[in-house]
Amino acid sequence: MILGKVIGKITATQKDEKLKGASLRIVQLINHQGKKEGSPAAAVDFVQCADQDLVYLVKGREASLPWRPEDAPIDLGIVGIVKEMNKIE
């Protein structure tokens, strides 16, 4: 899984029918020191996160597993809101 910061929201009424009701968030992926990793991406929110939240995400096929109906076209999903992190420097 990877870390990310929620920086926005996307509204898309016209989309794949399996994604109806999905909340699309804009996320800036970061490493554990906060350095940006690539450009912002769109992710489906599974945990009702808020703007500015530090979250962790799952990529690929696994990102579609929490969603119902099954086999929705999702390759990036927010699966947790980080509450606390301790790291050695």
Partner 1 sequence: MTYGEVVGSLWATIQEKDYQGKKLLIVEGIDLAEGTKTGETIIAIDLVDAGIGDKVLVIYEGGSARLALKDEKTCAEAVVAGVVDQIKLIPSYETRRNLR
Contact residues toward partner 1 (CB under 8 A) are 1-3, 30-33, 35, 37, 46-49, 56, 58-63, 65-66, 77, 79-88
- Give dist(CA 36, CA 18) in Å, integer: 31
Q: Which residues contact 23 (CB under 8 A, 6 or more apart)?
A: 9, 44, 45, 48
Which residue's CB is nearer to partner 1, number 14 or number 48? 48
Query: CB 49 → partner 1: shortest distance, Å?
Result: 8
In contact, 6 and 55? CB cutoff 8 Å: yes
Query: CB 85 → partner 1: shortest distance, Å?
Result: 5
Which residue's CB is nearer to partner 1, number 14 or number 33? 33
Query: CB 17 → partner 1: shortest distance, Å?
Result: 21
- Give dist(CA 40, CA 58) in Å, integer: 15
What's the number of CA atoms in the CB half-sphere (13 Å) around residue 68? Answer: 0
Which residue's CB is nearer to partner 1, number 1 or number 12? 1
